[in-house]
Amino acid sequence: MSSITVSGTVEKKGFGTGTWGLVTEGETYELKDAPTELCKSDLKVRVTGVVRDDVMTLAMIGPVLEVESFEILE
């Protein structure tokens, strides 16, 4: 699996106990294994990670992006 890098805004999605999503211009990714400092609503970030086609979630808000690293943007 190869890594991708995407930029967008972090949003809390209200499904079950809640899940964190990264909303980009063309896609919403569900963040997997996101560090605590990444889990803040309206945070603008660039995230590098792997899209996991082998993972199913209850929220099913979009592709699951397993976070490898991230950068907070202005």
> Which stretches of the chain are assigned E, i.e. beta strand?
4-13, 19-23, 28-32, 44-52, 64-72
pLDDT of residue 59: 83
Go through the domains of the chain in sequence order and give each one's CATH number: 4-72 (2.40.50.140)
2 burial type by CB count under 10 A (0-12 exposed, 13-18 middle, 19+ buried): exposed
At residue 37, the 3 state secondary structure works out as helix
pLDDT digits (tens, 9 = 90+) for 7-65: 999 999 876 678 999 999 999 999 998 999 999 999 999 999 999 999 988 888 999 99
d(CA 16, CA 68): 25
